[in-house]
Amino acid sequence: MRITVAVIGGGSWGTTVAHLAASNVPTVVWARDPGVADEITTEHRNSRYLAGYDLHPSLRATADLAEAVRQADVVVMGVPSHCFRATLTDVAEHIRAWVPVVSLTKGLEQGTRLRMTQVIQEVLPGHPYGVLTGPNLAKEILAGDAAATVIAMSDPNVADEMQRVFAGRLFRVYTNHDVVGCELGGALKNVIAIASGMADGLGTGDNTRAAVITRGLAELSRLGVALGGHGVTFSGLAGMGDLLATCISPQSRNRYVGVQLGKGHTIDEIVAEMDQVAEGVKTAPVVLELAASVGVEMPIAEEVYEVCHNGRSATDAYRGLLRRHNVDEMHGLAD
């Protein structure tokens, strides 16, 4: 394949995806920090976000956005949701016509309530768009552990090509035609992961964690289907798979936020000491707005929102969930 990939964003996951692509095709990663870009190119390391892990020796990096984008045949967006539109607007000045744009961002845009692929359609109309998502923890992949993910694109032919770009010997890439469902699964699970982390921070057991994850899956499935996703998607890698990894892994930033909340720390304290973004904090209010717009109940998401944005304690959040009226387990889910 004689194509070039540009990954926009030199954080942990953007760098890891660039590392994977570099095994198959010429790849460049754009990092805002020139020091990070120089280290990736010369030392094949990103010690700020991925200390101790080697990157593919052919991977290049630059702090010049135009240099990264202008010759790219595929652009991969690996920046947080709050700066996605602004960064993509800058990308639009240099990208060639019809170049596919793939989002790695598992969040929703505040204010507009848009998914990242919807932002792509607004900023770059006519470009094929899609999402790469799944239970993918960056450090495990760089350590050589086996993993699987999903690529969902607006054009299935492009999805097949992207499958070959990112797949590796121990990194299996599946295609999925449900862009909406795959993208929503990745965004919504971050909110549930905060709830799971709160349970761990409070010192509860595996029964509680299992209940939170399972009922969280029901919530994200209800909302995902109501917003146009396919129910089966949420039982796959982009739904249940991603939810499990994010809820139980010590590497999960969203779970970490929940753990610290459960231990009594404030959200401002937690966010201030973190070096990377936990998307679930910003996603929670958007999720509730979307749920209200389609009449879907999201009790776990509601409690996460109250803890993160209104100062409710994690203990009170769990008490609130237990006080809810009893319903059928499949309430609100399609048969």
pLDDT tens track for 78-104: 999 999 999 999 999 999 999 999 999
What is the rounded end-to-end Cα distance, in angstroms, of the chain?
44
Do 8 and 70 meet the contact criterion of CB atoms below 8 Å apart? no
Average pLDDT over residues 52-76: 97
The residue to which tokens 């209104």 are assigned:
310
**Residue scoring higher pLDDT (333 or 69):** 69
Supply the pLDDT for residue 213. 94
pLDDT(286) > 70 = yes
Residue 36 has pLDDT above 60, yes or no: yes
* pLDDT > 70 fraction of the chain, expressed in percent and rounded: 96
pLDDT value at 119 more than 50: yes
Stretch 93-122: mean pLDDT: 97
Banded model confidence at residue 333, pLDDT cuts 50, 70, 90: low
Class at the top of the CATH hierarchy for domain 180-322: mainly alpha
Residue spans of alpha helices (H) in the chain: 12-22, 34-43, 47-50, 65-69, 84-92, 116-123, 138-142, 156-166, 179-201, 206-226, 242-248, 253-262, 267-272, 279-294, 299-310, 314-322
pLDDT given at position 334? 58
Q: What average pLDDT score do residues 275-279 get?
A: 82
Q: Are strands 147-153 and 129-133 parallel, antiparallel or unpaired?
A: antiparallel
| Mean pLDDT score of the chain | 94
CA–CA distances in Å: residue 249 to residues 135, 140, 176, 187, 268? 10, 11, 25, 17, 23
Give the catalytic positions in this structure.
189
Residue ranges matching CATH 1.10.1040.10 in the chain: 180-322
Residue 330 pLDDT exceeds 90: no
Alpha carbon distance 300, 278 (integer Å): 17
- Listed in order, strand segments (DSSP E) in 91-146 are 101-103, 129-133
Distance (Å) of CA 76 to CA 102, 153, 251, 272: 5, 12, 23, 28
**Fold of domain 5-177:** Rossmann fold (3.40.50)
Half-sphere exposure of 308 (CA within 13 A, CB side): 29
Q: Could you give the residue range(s) of every CATH 3.40.50.720 domain in the chain?
A: 5-177
pLDDT over 80 (residue 31): yes
